Structure 1
Amino acid sequence: MNKTELIKAISNDTGHAISDVRDILNSFVGTLSNVLSPDESIGIQGFGTFKVEHIPERTSRNRRNGEVENYPAKNLVKFNAGKALRDAVNKRS
C-alpha cells in the first residue's frame, strides 16, 4: 500500500474528505520529522514508538577489491511496534 492508497482507505473508513486526510497525514509526517532527535522519541499508545538511533562513523573493508572504506556517522529512525499492533498483525496471519 502506498501513501495515496492509505489516504483513500482512511477516507473511506472515517468518511472524511480525501484532502482533509492528506493534510492530517502530511502534518503527522512533518511533526515526526521536526520532533524526532537523538534525545526525543514519539510513542503512540497501542501503535508503537519512533526513535532515533545514532550510528557512529566506521570503516569497513570492501570484499570485492579489498579497499578500506569510511562510512560517516548517521542517525536512523527506528520504529518499534506496540503490543496491540503486533497482536493485530499476528491475528491476521
Structure 2
Amino acid sequence: MNKTELVDAIAADCDISKASAQRALDSLIENIVKTVTKGGTVQLVGFGSFGSGKRAARTGRNPRTGEAIKIAAAKTVKFSAGKAFKDAVNKVKK
C-alpha cells in the first residue's frame, strides 16, 4: 500500500473527503518527524513507538576496493511495534 492508497482507505473508513484524509495523514507524519527530530518519542498505544537513537562511529570497507573507510556517527530513527500490532501480524489464520 502506498500513500495514495492509504489516503483513499482513510477517507473511505472515516467517511471524509480524500483532501481531508490527506491533510490528516500529512499532519500525523509531520508531527511525528518534528517530535523525533527534537529527541522525543511518539507512543501510539497498540501500534508502536517512534524515537531516535545513536549509531556510533565505526570502520567499514569499500566493497569495490576493500579499502577501510571511516563511517561517522549518526542519529537514527527507531520504531518499536506495540503488542497489539505484533499480535495482529502473528495471528494464525484459520
| TM-score computed with the length of structure 1 as normaliser | 0.87
Moved more, 32-41 or 66-75: 32-41
Match of 1:21 in 2: 21
> How far did residue 70 of structure 1 move?
1.5
Match of 1:54 in 2: 54
SS for the counterpart of 1:12 is: helix
How far apart, in 1, do the equivalents of 2:16 and 2:30 lie?
20
Query: What letter is aligned with 2:78?
Result: K
| TM-score computed with the length of structure 2 as normaliser | 0.87
CA contact (8 A) 1:36 1:42 kept: yes
CA contact (8 A) 1:38 1:54 kept: no
SS for the counterpart of 1:36 is: helix
Residues paired across the two proteins, number: 93
How far apart, in 1, do the equivalents of 2:63 and 2:18 lie?
49
Identity, in percent, stands at 38
Tell me which stretches of 4 or more aligned residues in structure 1 moved more than 4 Å.
Answer: none
The unaligned stretches of length 5 or more in structure 1 are none
The unaligned stretches of length 5 or more in structure 2 are none
Q: How much is the aligned-residue C-alpha RMSD, in angstroms? A: 1.7
How far apart, in 1, do the equivalents of 2:33 and 2:92 lie?
31
How far apart, in 1, do the equivalents of 2:67 and 2:9 lie?
49
How far apart, in 1, do the equivalents of 2:38 and 2:11 lie?
34
CA contact (8 A) 1:7 1:22 kept: yes
